Amino acid sequence: MCLLLAVSSALGSSRGSPPRPAPLAGRLHAGQVAVPVTLGQASSAFVQVGDRVGLYATDTSGGSARPAELIADRLLVLRVVVGEESASLLVAAGGTAALHIAQDAGGQLLAVLDRSP
């Protein structure tokens, strides 16, 4: 009887626990990878987990600015980490988008909100 009450109590207490978020790998579709993206803090102020963003590369080195270029679009935001001077996003990207992001990782990237959930 005591054993039965102990098991029942243990099972009952887990029902009131808040659900744990799905692991990041579980939110990736086939062919996608999680890619970290560093942004200026202002660019990430409006971005939240679950949003879809486009990433633009800008280059202001050498004193001349080139036009912003769209390097990836409709990326799912998996995580947002805001620091004092910059912010990082973790986005789900297909192979080609991940390659474009990696190629422009040394420059300045700007996130543009595509769609909010």
pLDDT tens-digit profile of 67-82?
889 999 999 999 998 8
pTM over 0.75: no
Residue 74 near residue 52, CB atoms below 8 Å: yes
pLDDT tier at 25, thresholds 50, 70, 90: confident
Burial 43-52 (b: 16+ CB within 10 A, else e): bbeebeeebb
The helix or strand, by DSSP H or E, that contains position 58, with its residue range, turns out to be strand 52-58
d(CA 68, CA 59): 8
Please give the average per-residue pLDDT across 80-89, as a whole number. Answer: 85
Q: Which two tokens stand for residue 57?
A: 């590369």
- Report the candidate in 4, 89, 23, 98 with the shortest Cα–Cα distance to residue 53: 89
Please give the average per-residue pLDDT across 77-105, as a whole number. Answer: 90
